[in-house]
Structure 1
């Protein structure tokens, strides 16, 4: 089939690669290059970089406005495919391809409709998730599903690791869907059950409140890692909170501590929660490099207190 592919992050690359092997990619639509890193170097999206390597034409557009719509329609695609593009598809573009638009979503729809399904599933403590391929309709992630595959969530997986796993699984399901559409054998079924929503995460979603239980804190840590990142506010003598990034946490068998109280337990740094303590494996204080939690705590005299509560 002649396809227009829309995607931006690394999670969309496996789908682009598999589709390019089996179908004609008329163009790749992706978000514009943006400043990245401390030096703010203008960097293309992972999809744009891989499309260039594959010799595919790239259209950079942060939104599918009138100009982008005209350009895509002129390509006369039979089908359009979306994987984490980062923009909405509206009419008349939505109805332009004869076979419409299909989307790879990283949840078992109608669960977790929205921008952060993987992160929200981890925060909520789920052990199972999956991928869905569905037809785009005007309502958010509400179209009929053509392919769905369940996947267990590995113990301790972060959102970054789980998304990479689902990207590979989803790419295979997406290609199966496109092949079926091309063959005229695809069957789309309406979503059933009550939907749940997965809105985009903000920086505040990464804040850990140590009055919560250790399992709840680990679930949130996994869900916000690597983005927007887990952090806690350190209580200082001046009374102003100092943000400390929490890069790696683990269960600990140390003696209980008050919620938010951090101390050395042998060679490890631990912090009290609403249940059992957690080990601070790696942290990054404001303005400093990442370091072992124990080294950080020793540099503070062996103890620290994080702010807790609202």
Structure 2
């Protein structure tokens, strides 16, 4: 079985490793190197970095065009395996692969079709999530399901921690599916489009906090936007990232966003739309992230201020 692997972020690295151990991964398709930091230094995607260590053929096109098609055809791949690649595959490209293409999607499809299913599950306070492996189809995330596994959420996950969990879980699942395809023993079922829900591409401004939201919404938002774009507010004209927070049963008095008090045991108590939450880890613009005790030692005028 010859596989072309397509992916870009860290979530795909365990699956790439697992496939290399079991099959002939004849090439890797990933996004071009991107500039990072103030100096705009070019950095490879995590998938490219791992593919270089594995000495695999690497393709980094800006666009999927006929020149790339010819190069891929020369490799004679049987199957395309994709996870979080970030581009849409046209039928002409999928036709290169005799066994078609499959995609690893971290949701219980048809729930959360789209680019941010993990963040969406946390934002909505879901208690269950899952992993789906589906056929690649013309319409995004609509292909037949080949495997689907559920798991419970603790309501403590961040998108970062959930991404790590899903990355590890997905690796043996994709190996199983590819082996089933190879032996012509795979089973599949159609998605019900009537049950489909969708999630959008997350933008930087999505992290801006509206303190009039209720406490549970705010806590979910803080978890969902960690590590990016972070839940963001303002303190004395400077950006302030709220990295971690905890629930509070105190109602509190004051406008939403008011820092009501400091507790050595719990953190900074901040008023919300329906009560309060405790902020326990935060990061002032251009500064290091700090736990609430260290922040209180360095910023003496935080209590009683109005955030945002």
Whether these two folds match at TM > 0.5 is yes
Aligned match of 2:111: 111
Supply the distance in 1 between the matched residues of 2:19 and 2:126 (Cα, whole angstroms).
30
**Contact preservation (8 Å) 1:254, 1:265:** no
Q: How many angstroms does 1:155 deviate by?
A: 3.2
**Contact preservation (8 Å) 1:252, 1:277:** yes
Aligned match of 1:284: 283
Aligned match of 2:37: 37
Aligned match of 1:299: 300
Deviations 1:223-274 (A, max 9, x none): 111111111234x5xxxx5431112212235561431101333333221112
Q: How many angstroms does 1:276 deviate by?
A: 3.0
Q: How does 1:262-277 map to 2 (within 5 A)?
A: 262-267=259-264, 268-277=267-276
Supply the distance in 2 between the matched residues of 1:257 and 1:39 (Cα, whole angstroms).
46
Q: Out of 240, 244, 258, which is 1:261 matched to?
A: 258
CA 1:257–1:184: 2 relative to 1, 3 Å: same
**Contact preservation (8 Å) 1:264, 1:294:** no
CA RMSD after TM alignment:
1.8
Gaps of 5+ in 1: none
Supply the distance in 2 between the matched residues of 1:247 and 1:219 (Cα, whole angstroms).
11
Supply the distance in 1 between the matched residues of 2:127 and 2:203 (Cα, whole angstroms).
23
Q: How many angstroms does 1:29 deviate by?
A: 0.7
In the alignment, is residue 99 of structure 1 matched against residue 99 of structure 2?
A: yes
Q: How does 1:190-201 map to 2 (within 5 A)?
A: 190-192=190-192, 193-201=194-202
CA 1:301–1:205: 2 relative to 1, 3 Å: closer
In the alignment, is residue 150 of structure 1 matched against residue 150 of structure 2?
A: yes
**Contact preservation (8 Å) 1:269, 1:281:** yes
Secondary structure of 1:281's match? Answer: strand
**Contact preservation (8 Å) 1:269, 1:294:** no
**Contact preservation (8 Å) 1:257, 1:273:** no
Supply the distance in 2 between the matched residues of 1:122 and 1:301 (Cα, whole angstroms).
29
Supply the distance in 1 between the matched residues of 2:47 and 2:181 (Cα, whole angstroms).
24
Supply the distance in 2 between the matched residues of 1:220 and 1:276 (Cα, whole angstroms).
16
Aligned match of 1:213: 214
Q: How many angstroms does 1:86 deviate by?
A: 1.1
Q: How many angstroms does 1:113 deviate by?
A: 0.3
Q: How many angstroms does 1:165 deviate by?
A: 0.5
Q: How does 1:107-146 map to 2 (within 5 A)?
A: 107-146=107-146
Q: Higher mean Cα deviation, 219-228 or 277-286? A: 277-286
**Contact preservation (8 Å) 2:231, 2:241:** yes
Aligned match of 1:22: 22
Q: How many angstroms does 1:6 deviate by?
A: 0.4
Q: How many angstroms does 1:294 deviate by?
A: 5.0
Deviations 1:106-135 (A, max 9, x none): 001000000000001110110111011111
Gaps of 5+ in 2: none
**Contact preservation (8 Å) 2:104, 2:170:** yes
In the alignment, is residue 85 of structure 1 matched against residue 91 of structure 2?
A: no
Q: How many angstroms does 1:306 deviate by?
A: 1.9
**Contact preservation (8 Å) 2:233, 2:240:** yes
